[in-house]
Amino acid sequence: MKKKLTLFTISALVLSSNAGTDNFNNDVLEAKQLSKIDAQSLSSVPAKKIVLYPQYSVRLNDKNANEIVEKEQPVEAEIAVGYNQKEIGILIRWKDETKSVQPALATNKYGDGVAVEFPTVYGKGKTLAYVGMGDANHPVMVYLKKAVEGKEYKKSFISEGFGTMTEIQEKGYNFTMQYDDSKKEWTAVIVKPLKTPDLNLASGMVPVAFAVYDGDSLNRDGNKRISSWKFIKIDKFKADPSYVKYISWGYGEIGDPARGKELMVQNGCNGCHRYADQNTAPEGLAPNLSKIGGYSNPVYLKESIINPNDVVIRNLNPNRHYNKSAEKDKIGAYPNNDMYTWYIKDNKGKLQSKMPPYAHLSEKDIADIVAYLKTLK
Ligand code: HEC
């Protein structure tokens, strides 16, 4: 009797210490094999809780919306995944106190919405994409569903970063969202083919990310709450062990966050980036890192530091900065100030990050910096 109790206590402790901490298993979504895939069968699959964090590294040209997003809280969602020979289905359920539906005629009201994103290239030897909207080296497929009055609004597109979206007419996929008034929650269900010409999800470990838009908070475009990359584990297919090793780097306690914070000042990161109490860099010069730990996987953070050219974030520069010392153009506007574009184009048209690589830092220094960045959420 006594022994049993002790065992129980230990496992309860282990469980509670893992809950909510950053543990790679928390980011793995186990897909269940189902004969039929629909909202009902997906509801029977054990769901996993994930957290979506406000993203404002890319700012809208809307002061109100930007102010709201800064004060927004993270939102929790439950995810369940199922698959069969041909299809994959994902159920996404999240709380939203107020149902917002975009009116049929354009106004400044926005509907609630949800997006599911997959990289089109992933697996052995492939690095992780920019979770925000993909990048030139890592296009992503985005499925977007919005609550719009009187019409079914669902879209799929390939994106290589903000402002590069190409709409894809994918056949045979379904995306629904339904609001439960009593529970005050949305349930969205996407069911799509495992394989299409643009996206092959028949793999043992498939990166996926989620975003939700809150219409009341003027969320749209880059203003939303997003998750980091999660990984769908499909037992029917074999996951490449080297890929699993790569994506699981850096979870748990990997270094000293306090030292990482000091290293960031010593290395001048705060000269370009704003984060926590560091706000001397001009707004918009580089992505704001205040919430970076919420939606970035540790290995992505590591690579951002040592190899900024692998993922180059395109900013649309929506918070326009003008060069007022230049001449006005024909319609009387000043040209953009290039200082606020995050990349330059080399002579082959390839994007080069303006961030210098920090590959010279020791492994310990990088681990400490990543440990600190993970705390920013
Ligand atoms: C000269 C300005 C500059 C400096 C100094 C700089 N960065 Fe950056 N950083 C950028 C720019 C511009 C980008 C966006 C373009 C890109 O993707 O590389 C960026 C991107 C990033 C990202 C990805 C952000 C995201 O939203 O996904 C991280 C993380 C990052 N930097 C961390 C650091 C750290 C840590 C340091 C210091 C060791 C540092 N940066 C120093 C300019 C800078």
CA distances from 349 to 136, 160, 309, 344 (A): 11, 14, 13, 9
Nearest CA to ligand 1 atom 9: 355
Q: How far is the CA of 12 from the centre of ligand 1 (A)?
A: 40
pLDDT over 80 (residue 20): no
Distance of CA 104 to the CA centre of its chain: 29
User: Picking from 104-108, 118-122, 140-144, 274-278, which range would have the lowest pLDDT averaged per residue?
Assistant: 104-108
pLDDT at 2: 41
pLDDT at 10: 41
Distance of CA 329 to the CA centre of its chain: 37
In tens, the pLDDT along 87-135 reads: 999 999 999 988 888 888 766 778 899 999 999 999 999 999 999 889 9
In tens, the pLDDT along 187-216 reads: 999 999 999 999 999 999 999 999 998 876
Does residue 111 or residue 81 have the better pLDDT?
81
Q: How far apart are CA 214 and CA 151, in angstroms?
A: 19
Q: How far apart are CA 38 and CA 82, in angstroms?
A: 9
Instruction: Compute the Cα dihedral for 283, 285, 290, 291 and give only its sign.
Output: positive
Q: How far apart are CA 185 and CA 118, in angstroms?
A: 24
Going by C-alpha positions, the residue among 22, 50, 28 that lies closest to residue 254 is 22
Most confident of 8-22, 44-58, 110-124, 311-325: 110-124
For a ligand 1 pocket test, name from 300, 304, 343 the mutation site with the most ligand atoms within 8 angstroms of its C-beta: 304
In tens, the pLDDT along 238-266 reads: 999 999 999 999 999 999 999 999 999 99
Which amino acid does the sequence have at 278? Answer: Q
Distance separating the N- and C-terminal Cα atoms of the chain: 43
Q: How far is the CA of 369 from the centre of ligand 1 (A)?
A: 12
- For the chain, domains (ranges, CATH) are 21-247 (2.60.40.1190), 257-375 (1.10.760)
Distance of CA 366 to the CA centre of its chain: 22
- Give the predicted TM-score (pTM) of the model: 0.88
The average confidence (pLDDT) of the chain is 87
pLDDT range class, residue 323, cuts 50, 70, 90 = low
Q: How far is the CA of 351 from the centre of ligand 1 (A)?
A: 14
